[in-house]
Structure 1
Amino acid sequence: MWATLPLLCAGAWLLGVPVCGAAELCVNSLEKFHFKSWMSKHRKTYSTEEYHHRLQTFASNWRKINAHNNGNHTFKMALNQFSDMSFAEIKHKYLWSEPQNCSATKSNYLRGTGPYPPSVDWRKKGNFVSPVKNQGACGSCWTFSTTGALESAIAIATGKMLSLAEQQLVDCAQDFNNHGCQGGLPSQAFEYILYNKGIMGEDTYPYQGKDGYCKFQPGKAIGFVKDVANITITRTGPRR
């Protein structure tokens, strides 16, 4: 029995089968290779202890991605800059946890007569949806919701796709009950843009991902709101 043990261990090493504790995820050599490539791409460095933890998390995410992509789904998953984090870590660091109530704004708006399609995918109709942006560790999701909706509305109306300044909303919209990186609401951000008479572009007011002082320049505003209203319920029920 003891004579065969070295041969079994050698065979396991040649096959790339890792030896690991019962409470640990067994990470193979291919997963280690992809993790080191990912570290290089995203310029990640760790202490020895943290490296082991992040490798385990990365391997777990890698397997979930592969399992999903091998299934019959309408979308694909891929690695990104968060692939060394668990969902619990991402939720704790990036996701807003406090409940928020919509700011209802009363206004006049033009009601169409229909008929209406069950859904519209503006991505398939032309350049009407701006690319995905990254808010970083700032709780500014409300600013990206605001600019994304306004960018699409302007593109649909004019054919011109703009990139509007989320950082202006982070820095300047506090008088409308918004709180920069501590949260806010798109409805209140639209009201700010309306009464402020404009929002600048990303190129002249770049995103910093942190609270700052207001640097709005009226002469450089490129996006405007004529009126704003929340449409939440129709006669037949909620509108999705």
Structure 2
Amino acid sequence: MVSSKAFLLAILGCACLCSSILAARELSDAAMVERHEKWMVEYGRVYKDTAEKAQRFEVFKDNVAFIESFNAGNTKFWLAVNQFADLTNDEFRATKANKGFKPISTSVPTGFKYENLSVNALPTTVDWRTKGAVTPIKNQGQCGCCWAFSAVAAMEGIVKLSTGSLISLSEQELVDCDTHSMDEGCEGGWMDSAFEFVIKNGGLTTESNYPYKAVDGKCKGGSKSAATIKGHEDVPVNNEAALMKAVANQPVSVAVDAGDRTFMFYSGGVMTGTCGTELDHGIAAIGYGVESDGTKYWLLKNSWGTTWGEKGFLRMEKDISDKRGMCGLAMKPSYPIE
């Protein structure tokens, strides 16, 4: 039979343990509050009242827990707390930064100028940044015009390869002026349609001449063209080998499903695993390569600033079993022709 003394000691021990757990939790919460405060300062986040701040803190805390749990696993890539850390995944999926690509169900078939190239004759690694064909990372902000950034990135690349000059071109001109087709500025658009506008418009002006504002604006007619294209083609759908042929020769516009939580907080490494194929975000394929462990990857340029991903860039696994490609990147690729 347990003595009263032993019973009392057990109770006291339990009380001390509970107190320690509560103290640890309070310390942990205090540290998380401080972390949230620093994050708010870093990203210039301001809330309308204490209630919203408390709500956002809980979301922030949940996201941090998810990121740390993911990074503790055995994966080929990792996540980090970034500018989206106080958004739920549902909110992120609905934000304009993650909605901007509007694929059409039917399109007119085009030629594919790289059809007869042999994949075996292509270089094993391509990075158009090293050839000076990629401008620095840009940030679309809360305007859903990823389609414009994707199209401009591909166009900047082919102009550099054709003329020898890398020119930062204007996404805002597309946002403001390309409004007579299916493109709708900050409400979304399609890269092929952007290419069509550039052809009809006689080119696109420079970023410095028509700066990005991250909102729909009135078209400033008469902007001096800095570069133009003669046409555009689609890469054969669901064909990573065909996409490789195109990317080996120029930067290519691609669309992906960017709604997954791991995409939301991607920070580095080669993204592997599974993700959706409901295309909602336009980016640019600017190369490909092979990791030291043999993992093949696509090199992609995003438009969410340098605090996301590998200083704004992303690597995704290449040649997966799903013909649509990682996150659907092989479903709707296209490129301009100079």
**1:203 corresponds to:** 208
Could you give the per-residue CA deviations for residues 196-232 of structure 1, whole angstroms, max 9, x where no partner exists?
111111111111122111114343x222112223343
> Aligned pairs, how many?
230
Does residue 169 (structure 1) correspond to residue 177 (structure 2)? The answer is: no
Could you give the per-residue CA deviations for residues 170-221 of structure 1, whole angstroms, max 9, x where no partner exists?
11112233222222211111011011111111111111122111114343x2
1:102·1:187 contact (CA, 8 Å) conserved in 2? no
2:235·2:242 contact (CA, 8 Å) conserved in 1? no
82, 85, 89: which is aligned to 1:83? 85
**2:62 corresponds to:** 60
Gap regions ≥5 residues in structure 2: 1-7, 244-329, 331-338
Shift of 1:62: 1.4
Is the alpha carbon distance of 1:82 and 1:109 closer, same or farther for their aligned partners in structure 2, counting shifts above 3 Å? closer
**Could you tell me the percent identity over the aligned residues?**
28
TM-score by length of 1: 0.78
Alignment partner of 2:154: what SS?
A: helix
State how far apart, in whole Å, the 2-side matches of 1:97 and 1:124 are. 25
167, 172, 184: which is aligned to 1:179? 184
State how far apart, in whole Å, the 2-side matches of 1:130 and 1:61 are. 31
Which stretch of structure 1 is more off in the superposition, 142-151 or 223-232? 223-232
2:178·2:194 contact (CA, 8 Å) conserved in 1? yes
**1:42 corresponds to:** 43
**2:151 corresponds to:** 146
1:122·1:129 contact (CA, 8 Å) conserved in 2? no
State how far apart, in whole Å, the 1-side matches of 2:176 and 2:87 are. 29
* Greater fraction strand: 2
1:35·1:55 contact (CA, 8 Å) conserved in 2? yes
1:87 partner letter = N
Is the alpha carbon distance of 1:136 and 1:124 closer, same or farther for their aligned partners in structure 2, counting shifts above 3 Å? closer
State how far apart, in whole Å, the 2-side matches of 1:83 and 1:234 are. 33
TM-score by length of 2: 0.58
**1:222 corresponds to:** 226
Could you give the per-residue CA deviations for residues 17-37 of structure 1, whole angstroms, max 9, x where no partner exists?
149xxxxxxx63332221111
Shift of 1:86: 0.8
Which stretch of structure 1 is more off in the superposition, 47-56 or 68-77? 68-77
Is the alpha carbon distance of 1:69 and 1:178 closer, same or farther for their aligned partners in structure 2, counting shifts above 3 Å? same
Shift of 1:121: 3.7
Does residue 189 (structure 1) correspond to residue 191 (structure 2)? The answer is: no
State how far apart, in whole Å, the 2-side matches of 1:98 and 1:188 are. 11
Shift of 1:118: 8.4
**2:95 corresponds to:** 93
2:186·2:215 contact (CA, 8 Å) conserved in 1? yes
Quote the RMSD (CA, aligned, Å).
Answer: 3.4
Which stretch of structure 1 is more off in the superposition, 121-130 or 41-50? 121-130
Gap regions ≥5 residues in structure 1: 20-26
